[in-house]
Structure 1
């Protein structure tokens, strides 16, 4: 359900699932995706390359 409640900064369903899984698992996310930083929910979890 987390993926359906996210703001639509990222329109790719796979990207939204990755974000939702990161939030749900309280994990860190290493990514090159430029739209991930728009999600405040990833604060402290996102490592941009």
Structure 2
């Protein structure tokens, strides 16, 4: 899963100037990554 995501992020900055769908896709990807991180954080013990 990590490699396609990294590849998409690497190509996003050059493509976003004329491609709004790429921007929307990267925004969705960032939101998903954030929600995944918060879910992982919630499962960790509070002391960490």
Q: TM-score, normalised by structure 2?
A: 0.30
Between Structure 1 and Structure 2, the one with more strand by share is 1
Q: Which has the larger radius of gyration?
A: 2
Q: TM-score, normalised by structure 1?
A: 0.30
